[in-house]
Amino acid sequence: MAIKDCISSAHMSSPSPLSSKNDENGNGNTRPHDTSFLFDASRLSYEPNIPVQFIWPEEEKPSLGEEELVVPLVDLQRFLSGESDEVVSQVWEACKKHGFFQVVNHGVDAGLVAEAHRCVETFFTMPLEEKMRAQRKPGESCGYASSFTGRFSSKLPWKETLSFRYSPSPQGKKRAAVVEDYFGGALGDSYRPYGVVYQEYCDAMSHLSLRIMELLGMSLGVGRTHFREFFEGNDSIMRLNYYPPCQKPNLTLGTGPHCDPTSLTILHQDEVGGLQVFVDDDWRYIRPRRDAFVVNIGDTFMALSNGRFQSCLHRAVVNSQTPRKSLAFFLCPEMNKVVNPPSRLVDSNHPRKYPDFTWSSFLNFTQKHYRADMKTLDVFSKWLLEDQHSTTATTATTEPLSSPASHHDCPKRTGESK
Protein backbone atom coordinates (compact mmCIF):
# COMPACT_ATOMS: atom_id res chain seq x y z
CA MET A 1 0.00 0.00 0.00
CA ALA A 2 1.43 3.37 -1.01
CA ILE A 3 1.65 6.10 1.61
CA LYS A 4 -0.44 8.51 -0.40
CA ASP A 5 -3.32 5.99 -0.21
CA CYS A 6 -2.93 5.58 3.52
CA ILE A 7 -3.59 9.23 4.12
CA SER A 8 -7.21 9.10 3.18
CA SER A 9 -8.99 11.99 1.54
CA ALA A 10 -11.76 13.44 3.60
CA HIS A 11 -14.00 16.44 3.57
CA MET A 12 -12.83 18.65 6.35
CA SER A 13 -13.80 22.13 7.33
CA SER A 14 -11.69 25.23 6.63
CA PRO A 15 -8.14 25.51 7.99
CA SER A 16 -7.58 26.77 11.53
CA PRO A 17 -6.23 30.32 11.85
CA LEU A 18 -2.88 29.04 13.01
CA SER A 19 -2.28 26.56 10.23
CA SER A 20 -3.29 28.92 7.45
CA LYS A 21 -0.57 31.43 8.29
CA ASN A 22 3.19 31.28 8.29
CA ASP A 23 5.04 30.20 11.38
CA GLU A 24 7.10 33.09 12.68
CA ASN A 25 9.89 30.75 13.78
CA GLY A 26 10.20 29.08 10.44
CA ASN A 27 10.14 25.74 12.21
CA GLY A 28 6.94 24.24 10.99
CA ASN A 29 3.84 25.60 9.40
CA THR A 30 5.46 27.57 6.65
CA ARG A 31 2.91 26.92 3.94
CA PRO A 32 -0.85 27.13 3.65
CA HIS A 33 -2.20 24.10 5.35
CA ASP A 34 -3.57 21.14 3.45
CA THR A 35 -6.44 19.75 5.49
CA SER A 36 -7.50 17.15 2.95
CA PHE A 37 -5.90 14.15 4.62
CA LEU A 38 -6.38 12.00 7.67
CA PHE A 39 -4.22 9.68 9.72
CA ASP A 40 -5.53 6.18 9.09
CA ALA A 41 -3.61 4.18 11.66
CA SER A 42 -5.04 0.81 10.57
CA ARG A 43 -2.88 1.13 7.46
CA LEU A 44 -0.06 3.47 8.44
CA SER A 45 1.06 1.29 11.33
CA TYR A 46 2.41 -1.27 8.84
CA GLU A 47 4.04 1.11 6.37
CA PRO A 48 7.84 0.80 6.26
CA ASN A 49 8.08 4.55 5.60
CA ILE A 50 6.11 7.33 7.16
CA PRO A 51 4.65 10.49 5.57
CA VAL A 52 6.89 13.51 5.77
CA GLN A 53 4.38 15.44 7.90
CA PHE A 54 5.15 13.02 10.76
CA ILE A 55 8.91 13.34 10.57
CA TRP A 56 10.25 15.61 13.31
CA PRO A 57 13.36 17.80 12.95
CA GLU A 58 16.65 16.17 13.83
CA GLU A 59 17.05 17.99 17.17
CA GLU A 60 13.60 16.92 18.36
CA LYS A 61 13.68 13.28 17.29
CA PRO A 62 13.68 10.78 20.15
CA SER A 63 17.06 9.35 21.02
CA LEU A 64 17.77 5.90 22.39
CA GLY A 65 18.82 5.13 25.92
CA GLU A 66 17.02 7.74 27.98
CA GLU A 67 17.36 7.26 31.72
CA GLU A 68 14.50 6.83 34.11
CA LEU A 69 13.21 9.86 36.01
CA VAL A 70 12.52 8.62 39.49
CA VAL A 71 9.69 10.74 40.85
CA PRO A 72 8.24 10.60 44.39
CA LEU A 73 5.65 7.92 44.93
CA VAL A 74 3.08 9.58 47.13
CA ASP A 75 0.95 7.36 49.34
CA LEU A 76 -2.30 9.35 49.41
CA GLN A 77 -3.81 7.18 52.11
CA ARG A 78 -0.97 8.11 54.44
CA PHE A 79 -1.42 11.77 53.62
CA LEU A 80 -5.15 11.64 54.25
CA SER A 81 -4.73 9.79 57.52
CA GLY A 82 -2.57 12.62 58.83
CA GLU A 83 0.93 11.23 58.27
CA SER A 84 1.69 14.12 56.03
CA ASP A 85 5.00 15.82 56.83
CA GLU A 86 7.26 13.66 54.70
CA VAL A 87 4.77 13.52 51.82
CA VAL A 88 4.29 17.29 51.82
CA SER A 89 8.01 17.97 51.61
CA GLN A 90 8.54 15.32 48.90
CA VAL A 91 5.86 16.98 46.80
CA TRP A 92 7.33 20.44 47.44
CA GLU A 93 10.76 19.28 46.19
CA ALA A 94 9.36 17.57 43.09
CA CYS A 95 7.05 20.44 42.14
CA LYS A 96 9.76 23.05 42.58
CA LYS A 97 12.08 21.10 40.27
CA HIS A 98 9.89 19.60 37.53
CA GLY A 99 6.28 19.30 38.70
CA PHE A 100 5.95 15.51 38.33
CA PHE A 101 5.10 12.89 40.97
CA GLN A 102 3.01 9.69 41.20
CA VAL A 103 0.20 8.77 43.55
CA VAL A 104 -0.59 5.29 44.90
CA ASN A 105 -3.25 4.17 47.37
CA HIS A 106 -5.41 6.77 45.65
CA GLY A 107 -8.74 5.04 46.17
CA VAL A 108 -9.63 4.73 42.47
CA ASP A 109 -11.02 1.30 41.65
CA ALA A 110 -8.50 -0.73 39.59
CA GLY A 111 -11.39 -2.38 37.73
CA LEU A 112 -12.61 1.03 36.55
CA VAL A 113 -9.15 1.94 35.26
CA ALA A 114 -8.88 -1.39 33.42
CA GLU A 115 -12.34 -0.88 31.91
CA ALA A 116 -11.39 2.64 30.79
CA HIS A 117 -8.34 1.20 28.98
CA ARG A 118 -10.44 -1.56 27.40
CA CYS A 119 -12.85 1.03 26.00
CA VAL A 120 -9.91 2.98 24.53
CA GLU A 121 -8.80 -0.17 22.74
CA THR A 122 -12.28 -0.92 21.39
CA PHE A 123 -12.95 2.64 20.28
CA PHE A 124 -9.67 3.31 18.50
CA THR A 125 -9.55 -0.02 16.68
CA MET A 126 -12.84 0.83 14.98
CA PRO A 127 -12.85 1.92 11.33
CA LEU A 128 -11.82 5.50 10.77
CA GLU A 129 -15.25 6.50 9.37
CA GLU A 130 -16.87 5.41 12.62
CA LYS A 131 -14.49 7.45 14.80
CA MET A 132 -14.88 10.43 12.48
CA ARG A 133 -18.48 10.78 13.62
CA ALA A 134 -17.07 12.60 16.61
CA GLN A 135 -14.52 14.60 14.57
CA ARG A 136 -12.96 17.54 16.41
CA LYS A 137 -13.68 20.84 14.64
CA PRO A 138 -11.01 23.54 14.18
CA GLY A 139 -10.77 25.78 17.22
CA GLU A 140 -12.53 23.26 19.49
CA SER A 141 -10.96 21.24 22.27
CA CYS A 142 -13.34 18.27 22.12
CA GLY A 143 -13.86 15.42 19.71
CA TYR A 144 -11.91 12.80 17.81
CA ALA A 145 -8.61 13.85 16.23
CA SER A 146 -6.68 11.58 13.88
CA SER A 147 -3.30 13.07 14.72
CA PHE A 148 -3.67 16.87 14.23
CA THR A 149 -4.03 16.71 10.47
CA GLY A 150 -6.88 19.22 10.58
CA ARG A 151 -4.82 21.81 12.48
CA PHE A 152 -1.16 21.58 11.59
CA SER A 153 0.87 20.66 8.54
CA SER A 154 4.17 19.50 10.04
CA LYS A 155 5.58 17.79 13.13
CA LEU A 156 2.36 15.81 13.40
CA PRO A 157 2.02 13.51 16.42
CA TRP A 158 1.73 9.78 15.77
CA LYS A 159 -1.49 9.31 17.69
CA GLU A 160 -5.26 9.50 17.74
CA THR A 161 -7.20 11.17 20.52
CA LEU A 162 -10.73 11.56 21.78
CA SER A 163 -11.28 14.52 24.10
CA PHE A 164 -14.38 15.64 25.97
CA ARG A 165 -15.38 18.07 28.69
CA TYR A 166 -16.26 17.16 32.24
CA SER A 167 -17.78 19.11 35.13
CA PRO A 168 -18.83 17.65 38.47
CA SER A 169 -22.45 18.10 39.55
CA PRO A 170 -22.84 20.89 42.10
CA GLN A 171 -23.19 19.54 45.65
CA GLY A 172 -26.70 18.49 46.54
CA LYS A 173 -27.81 18.51 42.87
CA LYS A 174 -28.79 15.47 40.83
CA ARG A 175 -25.73 13.81 39.24
CA ALA A 176 -25.20 15.36 35.81
CA ALA A 177 -24.20 12.98 33.05
CA VAL A 178 -22.17 15.36 30.84
CA VAL A 179 -19.80 12.68 29.59
CA GLU A 180 -22.49 10.10 28.99
CA ASP A 181 -24.49 12.69 27.06
CA TYR A 182 -21.42 13.64 25.03
CA PHE A 183 -20.93 10.05 23.83
CA GLY A 184 -24.63 9.62 23.06
CA GLY A 185 -24.79 12.95 21.22
CA ALA A 186 -21.52 12.81 19.27
CA LEU A 187 -21.40 9.10 18.41
CA GLY A 188 -24.94 7.81 18.84
CA ASP A 189 -26.87 5.98 21.54
CA SER A 190 -24.95 2.74 21.06
CA TYR A 191 -21.90 4.56 22.51
CA ARG A 192 -23.62 5.51 25.76
CA PRO A 193 -22.04 2.54 27.60
CA TYR A 194 -18.61 4.08 26.88
CA GLY A 195 -19.97 7.35 28.23
CA VAL A 196 -21.05 5.60 31.43
CA VAL A 197 -17.51 4.26 31.97
CA TYR A 198 -15.85 7.63 31.32
CA GLN A 199 -18.43 9.51 33.38
CA GLU A 200 -17.50 7.32 36.34
CA TYR A 201 -13.80 7.64 35.54
CA CYS A 202 -14.00 11.46 35.36
CA ASP A 203 -15.99 11.60 38.62
CA ALA A 204 -13.17 9.61 40.22
CA MET A 205 -10.49 11.87 38.68
CA SER A 206 -12.24 15.05 39.80
CA HIS A 207 -12.48 13.66 43.32
CA LEU A 208 -8.82 12.59 43.26
CA SER A 209 -7.68 15.95 41.90
CA LEU A 210 -9.33 17.78 44.79
CA ARG A 211 -7.43 15.59 47.24
CA ILE A 212 -4.23 16.34 45.41
CA MET A 213 -5.13 20.04 45.63
CA GLU A 214 -5.18 19.65 49.43
CA LEU A 215 -1.69 18.22 49.25
CA LEU A 216 -0.47 21.04 46.98
CA GLY A 217 -2.05 23.65 49.26
CA MET A 218 -0.21 22.15 52.25
CA SER A 219 3.05 22.02 50.31
CA LEU A 220 2.74 25.69 49.36
CA GLY A 221 1.85 26.65 52.93
CA VAL A 222 -1.57 28.11 52.09
CA GLY A 223 -3.59 25.47 53.93
CA ARG A 224 -5.53 22.45 52.88
CA THR A 225 -8.65 24.04 51.53
CA HIS A 226 -7.54 26.99 49.39
CA PHE A 227 -6.97 25.21 46.06
CA ARG A 228 -9.52 22.51 46.80
CA GLU A 229 -12.21 25.18 47.00
CA PHE A 230 -10.87 26.94 43.92
CA PHE A 231 -11.33 23.78 41.83
CA GLU A 232 -14.52 22.42 43.41
CA GLY A 233 -16.59 23.48 40.39
CA ASN A 234 -14.00 22.56 37.78
CA ASP A 235 -14.56 22.56 34.01
CA SER A 236 -12.07 19.90 33.01
CA ILE A 237 -11.01 18.01 29.90
CA MET A 238 -10.55 14.25 29.57
CA ARG A 239 -8.39 12.93 26.77
CA LEU A 240 -8.01 9.34 25.58
CA ASN A 241 -4.69 8.87 23.79
CA TYR A 242 -4.04 5.98 21.42
CA TYR A 243 -0.57 5.57 19.91
CA PRO A 244 -0.54 3.01 17.08
CA PRO A 245 2.72 1.22 16.27
CA CYS A 246 5.01 3.06 13.87
CA GLN A 247 7.63 1.37 11.69
CA LYS A 248 9.92 4.39 12.04
CA PRO A 249 9.53 5.26 15.73
CA ASN A 250 12.87 7.05 15.85
CA LEU A 251 11.71 9.65 13.30
CA THR A 252 8.51 10.75 14.98
CA LEU A 253 6.83 11.50 18.31
CA GLY A 254 3.52 10.31 19.72
CA THR A 255 3.00 13.57 21.58
CA GLY A 256 5.28 16.50 20.82
CA PRO A 257 7.17 18.39 23.57
CA HIS A 258 4.82 20.68 25.45
CA CYS A 259 3.83 21.94 28.88
CA ASP A 260 0.17 21.46 29.75
CA PRO A 261 -1.65 24.82 29.74
CA THR A 262 -4.23 23.31 32.11
CA SER A 263 -3.90 23.20 35.93
CA LEU A 264 -3.16 19.62 36.94
CA THR A 265 -2.85 16.47 34.83
CA ILE A 266 -3.63 13.02 36.16
CA LEU A 267 -2.35 10.42 33.71
CA HIS A 268 -2.69 6.67 33.67
CA GLN A 269 -0.37 5.03 31.17
CA ASP A 270 -0.66 1.37 30.22
CA GLU A 271 2.25 -1.03 30.67
CA VAL A 272 3.86 -0.20 27.29
CA GLY A 273 5.54 3.04 28.40
CA GLY A 274 6.48 6.12 26.40
CA LEU A 275 6.07 9.19 28.63
CA GLN A 276 9.23 11.33 28.88
CA VAL A 277 10.00 14.49 30.85
CA PHE A 278 12.71 17.07 30.12
CA VAL A 279 14.76 17.49 33.30
CA ASP A 280 18.33 18.76 33.70
CA ASP A 281 18.68 19.18 29.95
CA ASP A 282 17.80 15.57 29.21
CA TRP A 283 14.77 13.51 28.30
CA ARG A 284 13.95 10.95 31.00
CA TYR A 285 11.22 8.35 30.95
CA ILE A 286 8.65 7.62 33.64
CA ARG A 287 8.23 3.90 34.15
CA PRO A 288 4.55 2.84 34.02
CA ARG A 289 3.00 1.42 37.18
CA ARG A 290 -0.41 -0.16 36.99
CA ASP A 291 -1.30 0.95 40.51
CA ALA A 292 -0.17 4.58 40.10
CA PHE A 293 -1.29 7.79 38.45
CA VAL A 294 1.31 10.19 37.13
CA VAL A 295 0.50 13.72 38.28
CA ASN A 296 1.97 16.88 36.81
CA ILE A 297 1.58 20.60 37.36
CA GLY A 298 0.22 22.58 34.39
CA ASP A 299 0.78 26.22 33.41
CA THR A 300 -2.40 27.45 35.10
CA PHE A 301 -1.32 25.99 38.44
CA MET A 302 2.16 27.42 37.92
CA ALA A 303 0.43 30.83 37.74
CA LEU A 304 -1.67 30.01 40.82
CA SER A 305 1.50 29.17 42.74
CA ASN A 306 3.07 32.45 41.55
CA GLY A 307 5.75 30.46 39.76
CA ARG A 308 6.79 28.41 42.84
CA PHE A 309 5.75 25.12 41.19
CA GLN A 310 6.93 24.19 37.71
CA SER A 311 5.00 23.12 34.67
CA CYS A 312 7.52 20.98 32.84
CA LEU A 313 8.13 20.01 29.23
CA HIS A 314 7.11 16.45 28.42
CA ARG A 315 6.39 14.26 25.38
CA ALA A 316 5.51 10.68 24.42
CA VAL A 317 7.45 8.35 22.14
CA VAL A 318 6.06 5.46 20.10
CA ASN A 319 7.34 2.00 19.21
CA SER A 320 7.15 -0.34 16.24
CA GLN A 321 5.34 -3.25 17.91
CA THR A 322 2.70 -2.43 20.45
CA PRO A 323 -0.10 0.15 20.50
CA ARG A 324 0.09 2.34 23.58
CA LYS A 325 -2.80 3.88 25.52
CA SER A 326 -2.96 6.64 28.08
CA LEU A 327 -5.83 8.32 29.92
CA ALA A 328 -5.27 12.00 30.67
CA PHE A 329 -7.53 14.04 32.93
CA PHE A 330 -6.76 17.76 32.73
CA LEU A 331 -8.12 19.64 35.71
CA CYS A 332 -9.20 23.19 34.75
CA PRO A 333 -10.96 25.93 36.71
CA GLU A 334 -14.38 27.20 35.81
CA MET A 335 -14.14 29.18 32.59
CA ASN A 336 -14.56 32.66 34.04
CA LYS A 337 -12.80 32.22 37.35
CA VAL A 338 -9.90 34.64 37.69
CA VAL A 339 -6.59 32.85 38.06
CA ASN A 340 -4.40 34.62 40.62
CA PRO A 341 -2.20 33.36 43.44
CA PRO A 342 -3.22 33.53 47.12
CA SER A 343 -1.78 36.64 48.82
CA ARG A 344 0.52 34.50 50.98
CA LEU A 345 2.50 33.61 47.90
CA VAL A 346 3.11 37.23 46.90
CA ASP A 347 5.58 39.50 48.71
CA SER A 348 8.51 41.77 47.94
CA ASN A 349 10.77 38.76 47.35
CA HIS A 350 8.13 37.09 45.21
CA PRO A 351 6.35 39.76 43.16
CA ARG A 352 3.53 38.69 40.83
CA LYS A 353 4.96 36.60 37.98
CA TYR A 354 1.90 36.45 35.76
CA PRO A 355 -1.09 38.75 35.27
CA ASP A 356 -4.63 37.75 36.20
CA PHE A 357 -6.37 35.77 33.50
CA THR A 358 -9.36 33.53 33.02
CA TRP A 359 -9.09 29.93 31.92
CA SER A 360 -11.41 30.65 29.00
CA SER A 361 -9.02 33.29 27.61
CA PHE A 362 -6.00 31.02 28.03
CA LEU A 363 -7.78 28.05 26.47
CA ASN A 364 -8.86 30.20 23.56
CA PHE A 365 -5.27 31.31 23.09
CA THR A 366 -4.00 27.72 22.86
CA GLN A 367 -6.83 26.57 20.62
CA LYS A 368 -6.84 29.39 18.12
CA HIS A 369 -3.50 31.12 18.18
CA TYR A 370 -0.66 29.18 19.72
CA ARG A 371 0.46 25.55 19.63
CA ALA A 372 1.34 24.76 23.24
CA ASP A 373 5.05 24.49 23.98
CA MET A 374 7.30 25.31 26.94
CA LYS A 375 6.71 29.06 26.65
CA THR A 376 2.95 29.18 26.32
CA LEU A 377 2.28 30.92 29.64
CA ASP A 378 5.05 33.49 29.15
CA VAL A 379 3.90 34.36 25.64
CA PHE A 380 0.27 34.53 26.76
CA SER A 381 1.18 36.77 29.74
CA LYS A 382 3.17 39.11 27.53
CA TRP A 383 0.30 39.27 25.12
CA LEU A 384 -2.18 40.09 27.89
CA LEU A 385 0.07 42.79 29.27
CA GLU A 386 0.57 44.34 25.84
CA ASP A 387 -3.18 44.22 25.38
CA GLN A 388 -3.62 46.01 28.67
CA HIS A 389 -1.10 48.67 27.80
CA SER A 390 -2.59 49.34 24.41
CA THR A 391 -6.11 49.47 25.89
CA THR A 392 -4.90 51.84 28.59
CA ALA A 393 -3.15 54.01 26.01
CA THR A 394 -6.20 54.28 23.80
CA THR A 395 -8.91 54.62 26.43
CA ALA A 396 -6.90 56.11 29.30
CA THR A 397 -8.79 53.83 31.68
CA THR A 398 -7.53 51.08 33.93
CA GLU A 399 -8.82 47.64 33.00
CA PRO A 400 -8.34 44.45 34.99
CA LEU A 401 -5.55 42.26 33.66
CA SER A 402 -7.97 39.47 32.91
CA SER A 403 -9.27 40.74 29.58
CA PRO A 404 -9.82 37.82 27.22
CA ALA A 405 -7.34 37.53 24.40
CA SER A 406 -9.37 37.34 21.23
CA HIS A 407 -8.71 40.07 18.75
CA HIS A 408 -4.96 40.17 18.35
CA ASP A 409 -2.30 39.34 15.93
CA CYS A 410 -1.06 36.39 17.91
CA PRO A 411 2.35 34.85 17.97
CA LYS A 412 2.53 31.40 16.46
CA ARG A 413 4.80 28.50 17.29
CA THR A 414 4.83 24.76 16.93
CA GLY A 415 4.63 22.30 19.78
CA GLU A 416 1.76 20.24 21.05
CA SER A 417 -1.88 21.01 21.36
CA LYS A 418 -4.37 20.59 24.14
Ligand X SMILES: O=C(O)CCC(=O)C(=O)O
Measured CA to CA, the distance from residue 106 to residue 108 in angstroms comes to 6
Supply the minimum distance, in Å, between the C-beta of residue 374 and ligand X.
13
Supply the minimum distance, in Å, between the C-beta of residue 242 and ligand X.
9
E strand segments, 230-335: 236-243, 255-258, 264-269, 275-279, 282-285, 293-297, 314-316, 324-331
Question: For binding to ligand X (CB under 6 A), which residues are involved?
Answer: 239, 241, 255, 260, 267, 269, 274-275, 314, 316, 326, 328
- For the question of residue 324 being annotated catalytic, the response is yes
Supply the minimum distance, in Å, between the C-beta of residue 314 and ligand X.
6
Catalytic residue, chosen from 136, 228, 284, 324, is 324
Measured CA to CA, the distance from residue 292 to residue 269 in angstroms comes to 9
Q: Of 288 and 341, which has the nearer Cβ to ligand X?
A: 288
Supply the minimum distance, in Å, between the C-beta of residue 341 and ligand X.
24
DSSP code at position 360: H
**Helix, strand, coil percent content, the chain, rounded in steps of 5:** 35, 15, 50
Measured CA to CA, the distance from residue 208 to residue 231 in angstroms comes to 12
Measured CA to CA, the distance from residue 66 to residue 365 in angstroms comes to 33
Measured CA to CA, the distance from residue 139 to residue 53 in angstroms comes to 21
Supply the minimum distance, in Å, between the C-beta of residue 320 and ligand X.
17
Q: Of 141 and 326, which has the nearer Cβ to ligand X?
A: 326
Report the length, in residues, of the chain: 418
Measured CA to CA, the distance from residue 243 to residue 179 in angstroms comes to 23
Residue 300 and residue 362 in contact, taking contact as beta carbons nearer than 8 Å: yes
Q: Of 159 and 412, which has the nearer Cβ to ligand X?
A: 159
Q: In a 3-state reduction of DSSP, which class is residue 314? A: strand
Q: Of 328 and 363, which has the nearer Cβ to ligand X?
A: 328
The residues assigned a catalytic role are 324
